[in-house]
Amino acid sequence: MGVVWGRAFLLQGEAALPYLTTRECQLGGYISTITTVYPQPGVDTKPFPALLYLATPNNRHWLGEAPLHEIACQIMESRGPSGHNVEYLLRLASFMKEQVPEAMDDHLFTLEIMVRPL
């Protein structure tokens, strides 16, 4: 079993969950599942359940296991309603470096180098 780093959000308002479910599941092709979130060591919070949207091989956008250059090309060529995928990747890499510096995600940081504009 591996580790996935991220951030959990507490939804506010009755419209938030239906909106996210439509965006992520119906439009994005993700499945939803409940997982346990384990806070970073040293944080005074107990593990808690959270809703997770997850891509699977059944997702029409699923590239699957692929060489890094193919993944980088897909990222550089893809754009969604919220913006270009390169911007999403660069923001994710920046977040990880700033908020979770102990997470050495070679896969993410190699993709960051491959797609970063000169």
Q: Which residue of the set 24, 65, 87, 98 is catalytic?
A: 24
CA distance 27 to 60: 10
Length of the chain: 118
Q: Does the annotation mark 24 as catalytic?
A: yes
- Please enumerate in sequence order all residues whose Cβ is within 8 A of that of 55, keeping only pairs 6 or more positions apart, or say none: 29, 30, 61, 62
Query: In this structure, which amino acid lies at residue 118?
Result: L
Element (H, E) at 71: helix 68-77
Place of tokens 């911007």: 87
Task: Supply the residues annotated as catalytic.
Answer: 24
